[in-house]
Amino acid sequence: MQTRYDQINAGNNQYFSAYVSIPDVPNGHAVIVLQEIFGVTPHIREVADRYAQEGYLAIAPDLFWRAEPGLSLSHSKDDMKRAFSVLEQFSEELGVQDIGCTITHAKAQPGIDGGVAIVGMCLGGKLAYLSASRLPVDASLAFYGVGIEKSLDEAAGIKVPMLMFFGGKDKYAAPPVREQIATATRGNHNVRIQVYEDADHGFYTRGDPEVIRWAHAEARAFLNQHLPLRGVPA
């Protein structure tokens, strides 16, 4: 596996950076990894590497490039404050637009002749939800998306397979919020929700290793089903 940074064309002579993890044995598919509010951190790059090790070209775009390019914060009190400050400057509309540009970039890469999936966490989880409704993706995975309940009118527009993960102890997606999301998506057969009752927010990047393994195994099975590997019957 090799890694590099690409420049993604955002139009109007503007470009933003993306971390790219390149598989040793490509499977023809790409995964767009969407960041938490802390930027493209080592945790996010590790998630990208995880998918690259399984054959996916993994691209993690810097979605905060307009406000603070290259942001990579810890979970210290000061960094939390800074992350929320940058988040206030972030436009979801422009973020979805940037994800669309990243999808275009991914499809233009050598050997990508299969599908493109989204994998998002926290802020990226909501953007994965919006992407499933608005963008030309083949599948979407949203880990503990924050704020999905504010865009439930998008649920009917999801026409691709989508799997949402939540932690039962997550205060940012408490039971009433999860129930709102479940109610709004219940009539859409494309959407499935998985709750790990003992998990908290952030479990996929910094949670219990066993929970990470469970969640990733389920995510991998979901992608294998909807982005079939070469030579493997659908």
pTM for the model? 0.95
- Domain range annotation of the chain: 2-226
Which CATH code of 3.20.80.10, 3.40.640.10, 3.30.420.40, 3.40.50.1820 fits the domain covering 2-226? Answer: 3.40.50.1820
Q: ∠ at Cα 102 (96, 104), nearest 5°?
A: 110
Distance CA 2, CA 203 (A): 26
Residue 99 in tokens: 């994800």
How much of the chain exceeds pLDDT 90, in percent? Answer: 96
Question: pLDDT value at position 232?
Answer: 42
**What are the tens digits of pLDDT across the range 59-90?**
999 999 999 999 999 999 999 999 999 999 99
Distance CA 216, CA 165 (A): 11
The pLDDT of residue 233 is above 60: no
Query: Can you list the positions of beta strands (E) in 35-92?
Result: 57-61
Q: Which active-site residues does the annotation give? A: 170, 201
